[in-house]
Amino acid sequence: MRTRVEPVTPASLREAGALIRAGELVGMPTETVYGLGANALDARAVLRVFEAKGRPADNPLIVHVADRDAILPLVREIPLAAERLMDAFWPGPMTLVLPKADCIPDAVSAGLSTVGIRLPGSEAARALIRAAGRPIAAPSGNRSGRPSPTTAVHMLEDMDGRIPLILDAGPCAVGVESSVIDATGPVPVILRPGGVTPEMVARVAGDVRVDPHVMRPLSEGETARSPGMKYRHYAPKAKTVVYRGLGAPEAIRRRYDEAETAGERPVILGLNDRGYGARAFISLGGADRPQDAAARLFSALREADARGATLALCEAVDEKGIGLAVMNRMGRAAGFDIVDV
C-alpha cells in the first residue's frame, strides 16, 4: 500500500470520510499531535489501529467527536464536574474519561468500563469527523514506543505503507497529547498532563488531583489507572537522560564533553542561552516559554535519532502549567532517568 499525504481540502476530506466509513485508517491532524483515526463504532477497523501501531491490546483508544451532542450516545453518564470541564475547555486538548455506553466496542476501551472522549480544537480534525459521520477512535499516529508525530511527515515516517492517507494540516500547535482526565468521580484526576493544566482544571472544578505516576514509573505489582502509563514511550534510539535543577546546564556540558571524549555522539536538547556553545544542540526554546518546549519536544527527540546521536542530554523545564506535560513526556522518554543537580 502506498501512503498519500494530502492537504486538507473539501475533496480530501470527502475521501478521508469515505475511507473511515469503509473501515480504513486515516492520519488525522489535531492541535495536539497527529492521530491514527478509525471508525470508533467498528470493532474491525479499531483492531487495525492496534495492528498498524503495534500497540498492546490492553491500552484503550480515545474517541473523538465534532460536537457535544455526539457524546450522549457514547457515555452512560456525565457527572457535573465533567460538564463544567467540557464547558470550559472544549473544543481543546482535553480527554475526559467517562462511563462508557454499550455501543463502544471493547477493542476501543480495552475491556474497561470507561471511555476517553475528546472534542478537538483543530478545525481539520472536526471537519474529518463530520465528513466521516462517525466518532473517530484515534491514538497518536506513531508506531508504539516512538515519539508522537507533530507533523504529517513524522507520521509518514512511522506509517508509510500501512495506511492509505494522511491529511496534512501543518505542524501541531500544542505538540503534546491531550490531558487525560478521569471525570467519573467528584474530583477530576489528571492521568496524563497536557495542554489543559492542573491549575486550569482546579480553577473550574474547584479541586484536582494529579496521578502520582505522572512523574514516576510504576513499581512492580502496581496497576496503572491509565493503561498507557505502564508502557515505554517516546523513546529515541539514543540513551536519554534528563537533568533538572539550577545546575543542569553545567552538568549537561560536563557529561557531553566526557561522552564525546569517550567516542560517543551526544546531543543536547536544551533551552536557549545556556552556554552550550558549539556542542550539538537542539533547541526547546526559551526558559520562559514552556509552550515552545511542548511544541518542539517530540520533533527534537526524532531529530536526535536523525542525527545518529547515541546520547541525548535533556534539560528539564519548570513543572508549572504545560511544563508538567513536557516533563512527563521527557521523563518517560528517558525511562525516568532524571538527575537532580
Per CB under 6 A, residues contacting ligand TXA are 30, 32-33, 35, 59-62, 95, 97, 109, 112, 114-116, 118, 138-140, 177-178, 180, 191-192, 226-228
CB of 39 to Mg ion, least distance (A): 19
Order of strands across the sheet that contains 94-99: 4-7, 165-168, 26-28, 35-39, 136-137, 62-64, 114-118, 94-99, 179-182, 189-192, 209-210
* Closer residue to ligand TXA, CB minimum distance, 46 or 314: 46
Q: Is 226 in the site for Mg ion (CB under 5 A)?
A: no
Cα distances (Å, whole numbers) of residue 294 to 70, 81, 161, 321: 30, 27, 29, 11
Answer with the entry of Mg ion, ligand TXA, none that 118 interacts with (C-beta below 5 to 8 A by kind).
Answer: ligand TXA
* Closer residue to ligand TXA, CB minimum distance, 18 or 112: 112
DSSP 223: P
Residue span binding Mg ion (CB under 5 A) among the ranges 139-147, 192-200, 253-261, 271-279: 139-147
Q: What share of the chain is helix, strand, coil (3-state, %, to 5)?
A: 35, 20, 45
What totals of helices (H) and strands (E) does the chain contain, helices first? 10, 16
Q: What does the alpha-carbon distance between residue 64 and residue 70 come to, in Å, rounded to a whole number?
A: 10
CB of 20 to ligand TXA, least distance (A): 14
Q: Is 140 in the site for Mg ion (CB under 5 A)?
A: yes
Answer with the entry of Mg ion, ligand TXA, none that 292 interacts with (C-beta below 5 to 8 A by kind).
Answer: none
Largest CA distance in the chain: 61
The residue at minimum Cβ distance from Mg ion is 140
Would you say 79 and 182 are in contact if contact means Cβ atoms under 8 Å apart? no
* Closer residue to Mg ion, CB minimum distance, 53 or 134: 53
Would you say 265 and 311 are in contact if contact means Cβ atoms under 8 Å apart? yes
CB of 172 to ligand TXA, least distance (A): 9
Answer with the entry of ligand TXA, Mg ion, none that 59 interacts with (C-beta below 5 to 8 A by kind).
Answer: ligand TXA
The residue at minimum Cβ distance from ligand TXA is 228
> β-strands 114-118, 94-99: how paired?
antiparallel
CB of 78 to ligand TXA, least distance (A): 15
* Closer residue to Mg ion, CB minimum distance, 136 or 251: 136
CB of 163 to ligand TXA, least distance (A): 14
Residue 186 burial by Cβ neighbours in a 10 Å radius (0-12, 13-18, 19+): exposed
Binding site for Mg ion (CB under 5 A): 140
